Structure 1
Amino acid sequence: MKLSHLVISLSLAATLAGCKSSPTGRTQIAMYSEAEMNQLGKQSFAQMKKQQPINQDAKINRYVQCVADNVISVLPAKYANQQWEVVVFEEPSANAFALPGGKIGVHTGLLKVAKGQDQLATVLGHEVGHVIAEHSNERMTAAGIKQASLQVADAYSRSQGNRLHNETMMALGLGTEYLGMMPFSRMHESEADKIGLDLMAKAGFNPKESVELWRNMAANSAGAPLEFLSTHPSSDTRISDLRSWMPNAMVLHNQAKSQNKKPHCE
């Protein structure tokens, strides 16, 4: 069997085994079970809590918990009904994350960049968006397919007595990284931006503040790599996308206000 046929067979098998749709309707391949992903998320979070200092300021923790609770309240039922744990870590980087299994981490550095509840809700909506779209599952699946494909290519190259074996494998590795995995990650980021924008709007937060958040992020990330060489879209791309999605987000925001969803987490 030719190398190309072997790789196609691997990809086809994975597709048949784990094909599903994301919240935006995008077809995705996610081969791990929900229980497996939740267990991994809980284990990772427990390890982080052992290794990183945790903020003990009651006022800061109440504020972050309030924003998180409002975003969680509008998640699909199976996620909204989960017992979520929210931890503020003493870490200067402007970052946050959410993990399968109901875990949210916020770095204190983010609170200096995300000005006010609406901008913090932008970030938390985005991070929770990764979870409900099963991006971790999809990335792990893609990484497994990539590794299996490279192993097949390695064996095939050696069997053919390829004198340029090392160079060939390096080229294949770089190709899958820059032409596959990185654009794949940027797609996840954009999808999480869209999901997060809708979530914050449904919760009653002002979606227009999402644009201001990314302006702040851009000012805080001077010297970021070119978008082609990054796993994340550029701030300009994100702002442009957010503006294109804003009319629908404002409809959701106005609906939330009519339902008296008016967060007060200041």
Structure 2
Amino acid sequence: MKPVQRHSFLSSLVMASAILLLSACETVQTTQGGAVGVDRQQRMMISAQELDQAANKQYAELIAEEKKKGNLNRNAAQVERVRAISNRLTAQTGVFRQDARRWQWEVNVLSSEEVNAWCMPGGKIAVYTGLIDKLQVSDDELAAVIGHEIAHALREHARERASEQRVAGSFISIGSALLGVGGLGQQGAEFAYMGLIGLPNSRSHETEADRIGVELAARAGYDPRAAVTLWQKMGKVSSNSTPAFLSTHPSSSARISDLTVYSERVMPLYQQARK
């Protein structure tokens, strides 16, 4: 086979493989758009059941380990506060997806210096004491954090990222094998994927979670503008100086600007909830 013909043939195989991989993905609409208008369709290769099983296993192991270390729900007042805020937020999740009302929500406070919080698929929430203590968060600011994390679960961002990585990994491996680029070439393709697709998609997930989070907070009667003051505080304690284009999160200034716009958009919901 002539070199040109061989290259054309292999390129066609790569393209055919890509089409097969993409056709294996399901296009879904995980949430309603809400007042903030998050209505991007998502492509999933991994089923919700598959991810939920993995998440439940990880969650059970993590909570058991934290309990063993004596880090689970040590401060009763903090636990009561975090759970009260979370309950008001989860009561509003039906605006974005009705099935979330039936999730088995759980809320825990973990004693750690880390400034962090998360919500696993299916509604398993954890807030770290480092976030509460180091930032001296108000209830409105804490609602912004928890609302943001709940939004990730509602939008199934973890499932979307896992699906994206599975497709990309398969495509890169197939392409590298067919084109004979070797390990170095495959590594270059992986770096290109992260720079052009992977990281920007992560930033889009963060933006979606910010916007949904402020709406959840507003509907629950928490001032959505607290998301802005929260990230101003985050900026003061963060030691991460990674440029935005290499980070999975938007830059602090870009995030604050977007949150300012969307918190104002949902102010009528907050004002209505406060009546």
The two structures have a TM-score, normalised by structure 2, of 0.86
Matching of residue 88 in structure 1 with residue 109 in structure 2: yes
Q: Which runs of 5+ in 1 are unaligned?
A: 259-266
Query: Does the alignment pair 1:34 with 2:56?
Result: no
Distance 2:73 2:241 in 1: 28
Query: RMSD of the TM alignment (CA)?
Result: 1.6
* Partner Cα separation in structure 1 for residue 15 and residue 51 of structure 2: 31
CA separation of 1:128 and 1:223: change in aligned 2, threshold 3 A:
closer
Separation (CA, whole Å) in 2 of partners of 1:57 and 1:150: 48
| Distance across 2 between alignment mates of 1:239 and 1:46 | 35
Partner of 2:82: 64
Distance 1:44 1:208 in 2: 34
TM-score, normalised on structure 1? 0.89
TM-superposed deviation, 1:91: 1.3
- 1:119-158 Cα distance to aligned partner (Å, 9 max, x none): 0100100000001101111011001001101111221133
Alignment match, 2:249: 232
* 1:146-185 → structure 2 map (5 Å cutoff): 146-158=168-180, 162=181, 165-185=182-202
In structure 2, do the counterparts of structure 1 residues 181 and 82 end up closer, same or farther at CA, with 3 Å as the change threshold? Answer: same
Residue of structure 2 equivalent to 1:263: none
Matched, 1:131 2:173: no
Residue 15 of structure 2 aligns with an amino acid whose one-letter code is H
- Residue of structure 2 in register with 1:261 after alignment: none
Check whether the contact 1:30–1:134 (CA below 8 A) recurs between aligned residues. no
How many residue pairs match? The answer is 251
Residue of structure 1 equivalent to 2:22: 12
Amino acid at match of 2:150: V
Shift of 1:41: 2.0
Aligned-pair identity in percent equals 32
Amino acid at match of 1:218: G
Segments of 4+ moved more than 4 angstroms: none
Deviation digits for residues 27-79 of structure 1 (CA, Å, limit 9, x no counterpart): 21123333333222211111111233313211111011111111111011321
The residue matched to 1:2 in structure 2 has which SS? Answer: helix
Aligned partners of 1:206 and 1:253 also within 8 Å: yes
